[in-house]
Structure 1
């Protein structure tokens, strides 16, 4: 069976999980969170603090677990191209991760930085500096574009509106690209 994998990327608080859940409920495509897959193996929790101890090992875990999903034909996988390190510096995750995952399509979700900061305060009860979130957002987009070009993977950039148009737009794009 030929697996189709769509990587739903975006920074913390952009709405990846919410959108993936809505799409899953609407069209039945399997949805996995990279963070959840990794934390099931290594025991780290990536909730409020977002701190990662060993990003390289975590990517190996992710690749291994996705490759073992033999009975799943079509997958939405949400995750990141960049994360914060322990000092809130933006670090890029290894590009070979995305090659090894055999991604067929990248959808980058974006949102106004002020709204993301508000969401993270409300959701995680943690305050991030606007400039840190803005820098992460800029780098996430830069790396998404680079990965798309280097690996010849279609990229769709979507600005979240948090209404039904989000899921309809993404579903249309998934259909056009043959993921669903």
Structure 2
């Protein structure tokens, strides 16, 4: 997607230096969401160039240390100031398998479904509040997202 749209790919986890924030980099639970989001903003400010467009890969929600779903604060998105929002929805069974392969941990299908539902709801709320488009794609089908971003970038 980035190559096709001439976007620089940025990973939220890499920008906030997840492996430095968490002794166990496979543990995706967040101790303090505000701290991590402040670190993300600092990371963005350190790498963003005015003459480049970016795709920031991250989440709209995170799991806290109590394994509860928490939304990323609206202020984080306001500071990022995106031209649009994107979310890719996937098959929960496939997501579960990928997470198990990647993290060597088992997440319940119910938790993953609830997480995806919360992310979509929060993305819609942020989109409305920021008055920007939300592109919804499906795993392995990013065509709507690509077309929407291409149109947005083509406008002066």
Query: Do they superpose with TM above 0.5?
Result: yes
Residue in structure 2 matching 1:170, options 134, 140, 145: 145
Q: TM-score, normalised by structure 2?
A: 0.87
Residue in structure 2 matching 1:108, options 71, 78, 87: 87
Note the residue ranges of structure 2 that are not aligned, 5 or more in a row.
Answer: none
**What secondary structure, in the 3-state scheme, does the structure 1 residue paired with 2:29 have?**
coil
Distance 1:47 1:110, change over 3 A: farther
43-52 or 91-100, which moves further after superposition?
A: 43-52
Deviation by residue 1:119-176 (Cα, 9 ceiling, x = unmatched): 1112221100111111111100000000000110110111113xxx53x443222111
Question: What does residue 15 of structure 1 align with?
Answer: none
Q: What is the aligned-residue RMSD (CA, Å)?
A: 2.1
List 4+ stretches of structure 1 deviating above 6 A: none
Say whether residues 1:152 and 2:127 are aligned partners: no
Residue in structure 1 matching 2:6, options 19, 23, 28: 28
Q: TM-score, normalised by structure 1?
A: 0.76
Size of the alignment, in residue pairs?
153
* Higher relative contact order, structure no. (Cα contacts within 8 Å, ≥ 6 residues apart): 1
